Amino acid sequence: MPAARHRTVSSPSPISRAQSSSRSATLSVCLRRRVPATAQPGRRPSAAAATIGCIGARIRTLTGMFPSFCPRAARYVILKHDRFRHHRNGNRASGSVPRPVIWDPCLARAVAAELGNRLADARARAVRFNRETRRVTVHFRDLSLIVDLSPGAGVVVLREASEPGPDAEALPAALSRVEAVWDERVVVLGFRRVRGRKPHPSLILELATNRWNALWADGPELRVRKRLTAAGSGRHRVGQPWASPSAQAGSRRTDELDLETWEQHFEGLNAEDARRALLTGVAYTSSLNAPYLLEAPTRKEGFHRWHRMYTQVAPSPHLLEMRSGLQPYPWPLPGTPARPARSLLQAMDEVLAAADPDASHAPATVARSLARERRRLQRKLKRLRQELERTARAGRMREDAALILSSLHLIDSGSSEAELVGFDGKPHIVSLDPTSKPQEHANALFRRASRLERGAAKLRDRIREAESELARVTNLQQRARQAELTPREIAALTPAPAARSPARPGPAPLPYRSYRSSGGLEIRVGRGARRNDDLTFRHSRPADIWLHARHGTGAHVILRWTNPGRPPAADLEEAAILAANHSKARAAATVPVDWTRRKWVRKPRGAAPGAVIPDRVRTVFVSPDPALADRLQG
């Protein structure tokens, strides 16, 4: 009998009690009251979703009444409540958001098998991570693999080959493996580089609902180098090895699961407990296939159904017509309308084609733009309120001015302050301007108070405008999270692309200066550290002669020479002098210059621009000659 892994599940933390009996009573009343779910034609929310919706609504009401009451578990239920509302309202007949594909371990494993068959040993050209649209595109020679992780999608499709864009990363590699992590919603595509010494890369697709992500990792340890989204990616630190979801969740028990164990696993359980035991303890189960397994006529038939899924016997791709939308799956599920598909990849193509063309999803730039605008408005409001607080001094200024005018006979000219009896009968110290008369100072205080009062009126208007704008932006943020923005709103919120400066006429400058030796051979001298790499590895041939001044920074020099023998001594000396001239040792009397064939020069991984390691090196000693460059150019 097959072996299956049982998942260990920790009990959720109970909701904390309120700190007072009144709060506890209110919570009890709120949770006992029933909240009718919004009915929709032909669709009923699940019992669990409806329960979350009711409890979430009541806890949200409670936290509105008692802002300080919001324990961790209550916040968790509120989050689930918001997702339930989004799920309940997200698939209406008009203006709907297309429901995303739901992935489970069976679907991930079957899609990995299809990709492995379709793309076996396929040669890749480039890979592009587009964080704006949340898409990853791998450009192969004959096909393009598109992973769309935008809201409402979550599909993997193959399209006709397309040309990589300018922001795509070159990928001279062949696909070596496609595999799904055991009992996880994770697909890994491994590549084998066909040239260069960089580590072999891998594309990791994490397809767990609400945690979609794509990562580009290097080497056998899968060290993360790039990620599609950073949201919720605490374990996906760039530069650190990738950690699978199962490794983060903790260890799992591995027990033999045969028919007898299967029957014991569900013995004496009601329907709800049996579902929980299945999803938390049996491998390759999910909310998609749980009804099919649990509603079998007998426990034995349910075991055989699970065994066929577990061993992936005879997959038959179908497109399930679920209430939430179209759902590709490796097998038809009795009780759910379905139609056959040629493949799961073709079924996912149909999911994209069936999506509402008017449905729009805010790209990541819109979310960033709204967050940036909200922070700006919050800073503006804080500044305006601080200015309004300063205008409160106007009343005190008027009181001081009136007190000065009523006590002119008690104030000495040239005083900086005076102690007067205030209108409330208490002693009051008034600051004065010793350079002006008391009456002039009082009039100046009246004028300043009037300006502050006029400014306060304008500030209140500006604060109301800023508060209204902040409320509008906050509303847009909430609608963007629920993918409810219209195309016009998205277009208005999407920043226009920066205007590019006109390209300079003519071809791009070469990374080297060219000279002609006395023997007629071309000598190329690098224009700087970064240009040195271009010259050595992109603008030279393996048999060319590479030169560099020893023990110091300087230009790479290439003497164009393809013969197997040693180059002419005069030409080699002139190339060495140019290397000495373009080094920090140019002021020395004699400079040692190393030379070797370009094919014996390599660049270490992670080395600085221009830093290389030559092998099979020979050395010539030359004296720098600044006039040589002019002679060789002439």
* 270-288: average pLDDT: 90
Is 570 found in the same domain as 546?
Answer: yes
* 289-301: average pLDDT: 92
From the list 520, 516, 567, 515, the residue with the least C-alpha distance to 546 is 567
Q: What is the pLDDT of residues 71-105, one digit of tens each?
A: 444 444 444 444 444 444 444 333 344 578 999 99
Q: Using the predicted structure, report yes or no on whether residue 33 has a pLDDT greater than 50.
A: no
Per the domain annotation, does 193 fall within a domain? Answer: yes
| CA 366 remoteness from chain centre | 14
* 140-144: average pLDDT: 92
Percent of the chain with pLDDT over 70: 76
Residue 618: give the domain boundaries: 512-633
Is 109 found in the same domain as 60?
Answer: no
* 239-260: average pLDDT: 68
Q: What pLDDT score was predicted for residue 330? A: 94
Q: What pLDDT score was predicted for residue 506? A: 58
Is 561 found in the same domain as 578?
Answer: yes
Cα three-residue angle 251-254-258, rounded to 5 degrees:
150
Q: What is the pLDDT of residues 297-327, one digit of tens each?
A: 999 999 999 988 888 777 899 999 888 788 9
Q: What is the pLDDT of residues 614-623, one digit of tens each?
A: 999 999 999 8
Among 59, 89, 119, the domain-final residue is 89
Q: What is the pLDDT of residues 494-511, one digit of tens each?
A: 655 555 455 555 567 888
β pairing state of 557-559 and 591-597? unpaired
Q: Using the predicted structure, report yes or no on whether residue 1 has a pLDDT greater than 60.
A: no
Q: Which position has the higher pLDDT, 380 or 86?
A: 380
Output the six-digit token pair for 292.
């099919």
| Residue 445's CATH number | 1.10.287
Among 445, 461, 493, the domain-final residue is 493
How many structural domains compose the chain?
A: 4
Q: Which position has the higher pLDDT, 422 or 525?
A: 525
Q: What pLDDT score was predicted for residue 94? A: 35
Per the domain annotation, does 38 fall within a domain? Answer: yes
β pairing state of 512-516 and 522-526? antiparallel
| Cβ atoms of residues 301 and 312 within 8 Å | no
Q: Which position has the higher pLDDT, 481 or 543?
A: 543
Among 89, 123, 150, the domain-final residue is 89
Q: What is the pLDDT of residues 553-563, one digit of tens each?
A: 899 999 999 88
Confidence (pTM): 0.47
From the list 352, 304, 300, 305, the residue with the least C-alpha distance to 330 is 305
Output the six-digit token pair for 343.
């493949």
Q: What pLDDT score was predicted for residue 80? A: 45
Q: What is the pLDDT of residues 585-603, one digit of tens each?
A: 887 778 899 999 999 999 9
